[in-house]
Amino acid sequence: MSSFTFKPRRTVLAHAAVCLGLALHLQASMAQTASFDIPAQPMASALTQFARQANLSFSAAPEAAQSRQAPALHGAQDVSQALTALLQGSGLQGRVEGGVLTVQAAAPAPAATPSAASATGAEVTLSEVTVRTNQLGEITEGSGSYTPGAIATATRLVLTPRETPQSVSVVTRQVMDDFQLHSIDDVINHTPGVSIVTYDSERTEYYARGFAIQNFQYDGIPMSRNSAYSAGNTLTDMSIYDRVEVLKGATGLLTGSGDPGATINLVRKKPTKEFSGHATISAGSYQNYRGELDVSGALNESGSIRARGVATYQDKHSQLDRYERKTGVLYGIVEMDLTPQTLLTVGADRQDNKPTASTWGGIPLLDAKGNFNAMPRSFNNGADWSHWDQYTRTTFATLEHNFASGWVTKLQLNHQINGYNANLGAAAGGNPDPVTGSGVSMWRGQYIGRTTSDAADLYASGPFSLLGRQHELVVGGSMAKSRWKNDGYYNDNSGFDGSVSNYYQWNGNVPAPIWNSKPDYTDDETTHESGIYTTARWNLRDDLKLITGGRFSNYKNRVQEQDEKNAFTPYLGAVYDLNQNYSVYASYSGIFKPQSYQTEQGRTLDPLEGKNYELGAKASFLGGRLNASAAVFQTLQDNFAVESGGITPSGNPAYRAIQGVKTRGWEAEVSGQITPAWQIQAGYSHSIARKDGERVSTLTPSNQFNLYTSYKMAGSLSGLTVGGGARWQDKTWGTISVPTGGNAVHTVPNYWVWDAMARYDFNKQLSASLSVKNLFDKKYYTIFNWYSTYTWGEPRTVNVSLNYKF
């Protein structure tokens, strides 16, 4: 057990009080101005929110507002100036008198030459501007913020974090830039409530609330990951993404087969109308070199066609002897205004990961005497010829149309290939004799395959009136097809000797096997998923919103003999505004997830099913620039897969299903701007999964803490930003094989890892950055208990970069 004593109910309230009380104290100084937190949306609903947040009376928007889109409005502002910004270019005019907001169509202005207008002081009527709703939420790039604006991951409704009745953690573009988070592993390390288990040099697994995360989304389109045959998902480079959203809890409403722990949504960068971009070069510890070029702008004079391109190349060695990985990324996207109301987006991206001397599996936890096998952090069990190449190829398109009524329809198409070419050899089997180093053999195998996925999602979203109030509705459907094909080789014609004479003198210098000309086995699986879904946000009162939704899903995989039809996943949430800053919420969601785990007889386990309950409080201050949340949750699951201790007919670990697994926990998080110069993202999570009082999912910590912050200096130090942070997780454990016979529980101690950063802006274009990860060079590791192995965490690394903005 951890050295801390946790009392979840008291602790969550105490942490929430500290986070929210701090924010309230800071916000109180701005009480003389109204704080607005209005996402981009139809003008009619934006005016209603504006009036409520400014404490004004407002009867209804004029008919002319029904065909207009309103821009996002955030921050503490003078009410009159904020109203002007909201209505700019809409053809509407408004005024505030005696606590009443009045909006009407603007009278046509007489024509005036620029010179005459200047001379008389007359106001020149601006041409009408169409402001589009970003149906994925608000872009974080350029916001300078550690907290998001509106997001749409949970329900397809574009809502602020406070309006979303579920826990969501977001790592924004500013966080990634400040701390030089170049990989998705880096991002996950900064995400509150998510942990990483490392299998080998090319594979990691992410966990939230005690469960592995297999659901990935790209711009909201679900793409499941095959963690056994990893193919790019957890090697993703961050140069092409605006933000990473992690939706906690069950996510089956939009994904169909949803993970009970979390879903990771990667939102791509978007083109800009103005010409902009940057070039970055960096160098770091262990010969880590990287270059990045990002260019964006309009392709025609009117700006109706906009494009963006990103190219990145990284050559990274590591603390592992002989190991190197080369990564290349290309990304292109074009937006076209087909009409003022219709937007077409097309794009493609690709990433290649080519490592040398890849490890396979980890280091044996125990030597032949049963003692901890403490190898150096530089030890590489891979052969010189071992490599696990991974690549992704994606093309995507969206068509979005805004109707005069305020409704939006959107069609999203995605085609993705995740492939791999793995020729692997590693000194990984057995337990070394502590004196002679004997007793270890090589694992070897070749695996060539890829998963080809096609997905389509069509939905309509917009406002409707009922009983004198305006509500929101989403109706949609999706289809997906995924085919995984794999060729496996384990026999060779070279008389390969897999014995390792002395494990402690292993250097990877062994001949490569010559594989058979034909594969020893082939996997070929096709999965079909489809479903229809709907979500409604009911405006019951100005301070009470109810979200109802559900999805009917179909799932088929003939190889695994799975055929699920009309599986229903419900969703229910309610948000009650206590006042201008605080809300409380409750949500309920169903869990449905077909599984690929097999029994010792080769039968696939039935789908994971269950329920997820969540209660919480949220707060938003400084116009949405500072957000805080606290939640308690409970997950009930049936058909939960646990290792049986045997093997399947194909030689893989076998599993059995258990019923009634209960997970309880709580989370607290704060993110955003404490002062204009001070940004923070911090969170604490606690979760424990039990079956009949016994812990399950023990490879992931039950308690975690993350805090990262930065501060912009002033005065003589103006231009300098300094920051740092830390992450902590308590102990984890798993049952492993003991070489002297039987099994034992191996415990990984709790640990802290500290980071630091600094950036100096020479001017608006040129800046230099320093990033130090694992500042105090903490030695820590994670275990893979099925194979009784472990992998060291990364030692201290230092990286410097130079960035020039166009």
Q: b/e map of 156-176 (b: 16 or more CB within 10 Å)?
A: bbbbbbbbbbbbbbbbbbbbb
Q: Are 633 and 249 in contact (CB under 8 A)?
A: yes
* φ/ψ (deg, to 5) at 625: -80, -10
Number of other CB atoms surrounding residue 128 within 10 Å: 10
Q: Model confidence over 547-564: pLDDT tens digits?
A: 999 999 898 888 777 788
Q: Are 361 and 428 in contact (CB under 8 A)?
A: yes
Confidence of residue 374 (pLDDT cuts 50, 70, 90): very high
In terms of Cβ atoms closer than 10 Å to its own Cβ (0-12, 13-18, 19+), residue 536 is middle
Tokens coding 218? 């790209």
Confidence of residue 10 (pLDDT cuts 50, 70, 90): very low
Distance CA 722, CA 178 (A): 9
Query: Does the pLDDT value for residue 180 go beyond 50?
Result: yes
Query: Does the pLDDT value for residue 251 go beyond 90?
Result: no
Q: Model confidence over 182-233: pLDDT tens digits?
A: 999 999 999 999 999 888 999 898 999 888 888 889 998 887 676 666 677 8
Which residues, including other chains, have CB under 8 Å from residue 524's CB and lie 6 or more apart? Answer: 483, 484, 485, 486, 559
Number of domains in the chain: 2
Question: Domain of 87?
Answer: 33-105
Distance CA 747, CA 759 (A): 39
CATH (domain of 642): 2.40.170.20
The CA-to-CA distance between both ends of the chain, in Å, stands at: 53
Distance CA 22, CA 11 (A): 17
* φ/ψ (deg, to 5) at 658: -120, 155
pLDDT confidence of residue 131: 32
Q: Model confidence over 654-710: pLDDT tens digits?
A: 888 888 888 889 999 999 999 989 999 999 999 988 877 778 778 889 999 999 999
Kindly calculate the radius of gyration of the chain based on its CA atoms and give it in whole angstroms: 28
Angle separating helix axes 43-53 and 79-87, nearest 10 degrees: 180
Higher pLDDT: 16 or 514? It is: 514
Average pLDDT of the segment spanning 290-299: 97
pLDDT confidence of residue 89: 66
Q: Is residue 314 part of a domain?
A: yes
pLDDT confidence of residue 316: 96
Q: Is residue 410 part of a domain?
A: yes
Eight-class DSSP state of 66: G
Element (H, E) at 669: strand 661-675
Indicate the Cα dihedral angle 142, 71, 191, 166, nearest 10°: 180
What would the DSSP string read from start to end of 484-546? EEEEEE--BSS----EES-GGG--S--PPP-B-SS-SEEEEEEEEEEEEEEEEEEEEETTEEE
Confidence of residue 63 (pLDDT cuts 50, 70, 90): low
Q: Is residue 399 part of a domain?
A: yes
Distance CA 73, CA 41 (A): 10
Q: Are 171 and 179 in contact (CB under 8 A)?
A: no
pLDDT confidence of residue 445: 92
Q: Is residue 262 part of a domain?
A: no
Number of other CB atoms surrounding residue 652 within 10 Å: 14
Q: Is residue 181 part of a domain?
A: no
- From 81, 105, 129, the end of a domain falls on 105
In 639-779, at which residue ranges do the beta strands (DSSP E only) sit?
A: 640-647, 653-658, 661-675, 678-691, 694-696, 703-712, 720-729, 732-737, 743-748, 751-761, 766-773
Which residues, including other chains, have CB under 8 Å from residue 217's CB and lie 6 or more apart? Answer: 153, 223, 255, 263, 264, 265, 266
Q: Are 782 and 198 in contact (CB under 8 A)?
A: yes
Which residues, including other chains, have CB under 8 Å from residue 109's CB and lie 6 or more apart? Answer: 122, 123, 124, 125
Q: Model confidence over 421-441: pLDDT tens digits?
A: 999 999 998 999 999 999 999
Lowest mean pLDDT among 254-268, 380-394, 532-546, 776-790: 254-268
- Alpha carbon 201 to chain centroid distance? 21
pLDDT confidence of residue 3: 37
Q: Is residue 535 part of a domain?
A: yes
Tokens coding 664? 């309880």
Confidence of residue 234 (pLDDT cuts 50, 70, 90): confident
Q: Which of these, 167, 191, 260, lies nearest to 616 by C-alpha position?
A: 167
Q: Model confidence over 723-745: pLDDT tens digits?
A: 999 999 999 998 888 988 888 99
Q: Are 794 and 788 in contact (CB under 8 A)?
A: no
Angstrom CA distances, 776 to 58, 321, 348, 779, 790, stand at 58, 22, 40, 9, 21
Dihedral sign, Cα of residue 728, residue 729, residue 731, residue 737: negative
**Amino acid present at 400:** E
Query: Does the pLDDT value for residue 25 go beyond 70?
Result: no
CATH (domain of 52): 3.55.50.30
Q: Are 611 and 592 in contact (CB under 8 A)?
A: no
Tokens coding 226? 């095959």
pLDDT confidence of residue 243: 96
Query: Does the pLDDT value for residue 9 go beyond 80?
Result: no
> How high is the mean pLDDT of the chain?
86
Higher pLDDT: 396 or 361? It is: 396
Q: Is residue 258 part of a domain?
A: no
Distance CA 192, CA 670 (A): 10
- From 42, 74, 105, the end of a domain falls on 105
**Amino acid present at 569:** T
- From 77, 105, 133, the end of a domain falls on 105
Q: Is residue 123 part of a domain?
A: no
